[in-house]
Structure 1
C-alpha cells in the first residue's frame, strides 16, 4: 500500500529532476517506479505509456495521473499530478523571471548544450527499456514478431510518411486488432 504522501514525494522528486520534458522523464519514471520502488511492473509501465501518449496532454502529467490513480484512486491521481508539476512550474517561473534575459549568454548556452545531450541519453535509455518489454516475449527474450512488425509500420508512418502520431496510433491499434481477429496472433 502506497500512501498519498509517498506518492506526492516520489512525483515531486521525479518532477524536480525531469529534464527534457515528458520523453526525457520516461527513463526517470521507469527507474523510480519500476526498478527502485516496484510500484508497477514492466508491462504496466508500457501500458501506462501507451495510454499517456494516446491521450491529450503532456506524457509526464498523464503518466503521473495514471500511476497515481492505479496506486491511490482519484486522490492518488490528483496528488501524483500535483507532485510532478510543482517543481517544473516553479522552475519555469524562476527562469522566466530571472534567467530569460541571459539565455543568449555563452555560459548559459554551453550549460544547455550539456543538458540537451543528457536529455537525448535519457530518451535512449527509456527507448531501450520500453523496447525490451514490447518487442521481446516475456520470460524468454525471444523477439515478438507481431509487435516488431507493428513497430516497423508505426515507424514508417511517422518517419517516412511524416504522418501525425495519432495516425500511427490508430493504424497500429487497428493492425493489432486485425491480426488478432484474422489470425489469432
Structure 2
C-alpha cells in the first residue's frame, strides 16, 4: 500500500527532475510509476495520460492529481499535486533571483541546449514505449485500426489547430463505429 509520504516524495522527486513541461514528464512518470514503483499498470498509465491531456491545465499537474486520486483518493490527489508543483516553484524562484542577469550568456545558452536535448530524448522514450504497447494488440499482431487512426489524427493535428479533446473524442468514436460496423 502506498503511503502519503511515499506519494509526496515520489512526486517531489519527479518535480525536481522533470524539465520541459508536462510532456517531458511523461517519460519520467512512466519510468517511476509504471516500471520502478509499479503503482499503476501500463493500461492505467495510458488512461491517465489521456485524461490529463484532455482536461484543462498542465498535463504534469493533471496527471499527478489523477495518479494521486487513483492511489489514495482525494487526499492523495492533493498530496501529489502539491508535491509536483513545489519543486518548480522553488527552482523558478531561484533562477529568477540569481540567474536573470546571465540568461543571454553563452554558458547559459549551452546548458539549456543540452537540457532541451535531454527533454526530447525523454519524450521520445515515452512515445516509443506507449506506441509499442498501443500498436501491438494483445495477440502480438499489429493493430492496423490503431495505426490508421494514429496516422489520420497525427496528420489532422499537423494540418490544423484542433483541440486535443476533440481529437481524443473523435478517435474514440471512430474506433467504436469500426468495432460495431465491421467488428474490427
Superposition TM-score, scaled by structure 1 size = 0.94
Q: 1:162 offset after TM fit, Å?
A: 4.7
- Single out whichever of 156-165 and 113-122 deviates more from structure 2: 156-165
Equivalent residue, structure 1, for 2:60: 60
Matched residue of 2:61: which SS?
A: helix
Equivalent residue, structure 2, for 1:15: 15
2:17 maps to 1:3: no
Equivalent residue, structure 2, for 1:107: 107
Q: 1:53 offset after TM fit, Å?
A: 0.5
2:155 maps to 1:146: no
Equivalent residue, structure 2, for 1:25: 25
CA contact (8 A) 1:54 1:169 kept: yes
Q: 1:178 offset after TM fit, Å?
A: 1.6
Output the CA distance in 2 between the equivalents of 1:100 and 1:123: 28
CA contact (8 A) 1:153 1:172 kept: no
Cα-to-partner distance string for 1:105-159 (whole Å, 9 max, x where unaligned): 1100010010011111011001001111211113x43211121111111101111
Matched residue of 2:140: which SS?
A: coil
Output the CA distance in 2 between the equivalents of 1:178 and 1:100: 54
Q: 1:29 offset after TM fit, Å?
A: 0.3
Superposition pairs of residues 37-52 of structure 1, within 5 angstroms: 37-52=37-52
Give the gaps of 5 or more residues in structure 2: none
Output the CA distance in 2 between the equivalents of 1:116 and 1:176: 35
Superposition pairs of residues 78-117 of structure 1, within 5 angstroms: 78-117=78-117
Matched residue of 2:56: which SS?
A: coil
Q: CA RMSD in A?
A: 1.3
Equivalent residue, structure 1, for 2:174: 175
Following TM superposition, the consecutive aligned residue runs of length 4 or more in structure 1 with deviations greater than 6 angstroms are: none
Superposition pairs of residues 112-123 of structure 1, within 5 angstroms: 112-123=112-123
Q: 1:4 offset after TM fit, Å?
A: 0.7
Equivalent residue, structure 2, for 1:165: 164
Superposition TM-score, scaled by structure 2 size = 0.94
Matched residue of 2:141: which SS?
A: coil
